[in-house]
Homo-oligomer: A and B are copies of this chain.
Amino acid sequence: MKNNHFRTVNPSTNKNIPIDYPQASIEEVNQSVILAKDAFISYRGKSQIQRAAFLRQIIVCLNNLKEEIISICHLETALPLGRLEGEFLRTTGQISMFADLLENGSWVDAIIDTAQPDRKPTPRVDLRQMLIPLGPVAVFGASNFPLAFSVAGGDTISALASGCTVVVKSHPEHPGTSKFLANAITDALSLCDLPEAVFQLLQGDTHQLGAELVQHPEIKAVGFTGSFSGGKALFDLANQRPEPIPVFAEMGSVNPVLILPNTLASNGDEIAKGLAQSVSLGVGQFCTNPGLVFFVDSEGSDEFLTTLDKLVQEIPSATMLSPSISGNYKIGLTRLKRTPKLTSVTKGIESEDANCARTEFFITDFDTFCSIDYLSEEVFGPVSLLVSVSEEQINSIPRQLAGQLTASIFGDPQDLIRYKHSIESITHLVGRIIINGYPTGVEVTHAMVHGGPFPATTQVQSTSVGTQAIRRFTRPVCYQNFTQDLLPDELKDDNPLMISRKINGIIK
């Protein structure tokens, strides 16, 4: 690492923001992880109630810094203030959700099999199981959710909720935002009398920094949201360690949409309107952006395309998150524009402002789609590829798709029943399957799955959004023949936390 400091760019002006952020050194990575390990030994012993209080204190501290956070974030990301207000609420909302989860306490999946001393031929011992935290976790902040999936975002908070300590490698494109978010967590730690190394921030704009962090022997799991190349590189590093560790990398997807035959005729306008909105939302910079739309060339499809074109004309260009994202978007668009048998559905005027992008739709047929690999790959930004298919080709669609975060199916009740098997096959490719709706707008609830088969993520068995995200940073442990005073409260006979538990096979 040559430079001791780094800067970021204001994407609206394409000029440097004149603030120097210190670049973390390799020694600092090492030191942070050692401290995180020591802090873990103390933090893992805190009760769920103590951890909930800490999370609630983070909300207070974030609210104290809200104005500063949103101002600098707007400067660093060009995301509109309204969107950032919303994302801020989403961020504190999900912290509150994890605090609720801890106060309820049942998420640890307590399982108790009581002793059977008189069992023949051998007695059965007392066995009790619950989830415990893994250890220090490395979290990589995303660029596209600078609040909700960044320093104080879902990965960090679910890891802290589970009892893990966290070292964040923040995204280098919003270092000021990251610093304020980190300050809020650090303030909360201090106010709650918790070790300051429960949470640490490392800043820098080199890949080496993240690589060193993931390879440190005391890091026990990794949370990541970002590009395929970034996530896959960390996954490979983690598996090549002397002690491999789990990497929960959410790497995006094209989120295919399938519009079944009868639907365009009856509901084409509505679908076009939703599609235009979903693709352009946040300048298309969502992991759940619908980048691929299969529709049956049928009565209503011409009108659908015309409506779509008309709607897209009305969508203003907008600034993307950074010059690199905007640059990659342009490269992706250029490739699509140069692809034979692909035509542009939408004819608009390109903005000349720095890093600006406008919503675009392309169209092709199923055979062309099947013959060119990159057409099923994500282009990060407000673009979507429409693929016209015949009714006979619908059943072949699942075979053309890799793992996805989501898929959406539009259909009337008859079509949905008729294509039930295709919907089932698509379900087995995705983390979330949606009927008559678009994938953007990921609810933060218990039932959400924001995950899916590779290459959408590196860990098909997990979600990075919703309460179940806490499971990523835990593992089950079994306590055999423990006395009551040595057991964690969650597993004691008298159930002092009043949590729901499975006792001898029955949930109580």
Contacts and interface: CB of A to CB of B under 8 A. Distances in A.
B476 A424 contact: no
A92 interface: no
A418 to B, nearest CB: 12
Nearest to A104: B505
Interface of A: 41, 44-45, 100, 104, 106, 111-113, 122, 124-125, 127-129, 132, 134-135, 235-236, 239, 243-246, 402-403, 413, 416-417, 420, 423-425, 427-428, 430-437, 441, 443, 445-449, 451, 453-455, 458-463, 468, 471, 474-483, 485-486, 500, 502, 504-505, 507
B431 A451 contact: no
Contacts of A424: 44-45
B476 A446 contact: no
A135 B486 CA distance: 41
A480 B423 CA distance: 13
A175 to B, nearest CB: 31
Contact of A428 (B44, B129, B417, B468): B44
Contacts of A132: 427-428
A267 to B, nearest CB: 14
Given A122-B441, A246-B460, A458-B244, A477 B427 contact: yes
A448 B481 contact: no
Contacts of A239: 235-236, 239
Contacts of A423: 486
Contacts of A127: 443, 445, 447-448
B476 A243 contact: no
Contact of A431 (B125, B431, B478): B478
Nearest to A244: B454
Contacts of A476: 431, 449, 451, 461-463, 468
Nearest to A107: B502
21 contacts: A104-B505, A111-B447, A112-B447, A125-B443, A132-B427, A235-B239, A235-B244, A236-B239, A239-B239, A243-B454, A244-B458, A246-B460, A416-B483, A431-B476, A435-B479, A446-B502, A451-B475, A461-B471, A461-B474, A461-B476, A500-B507
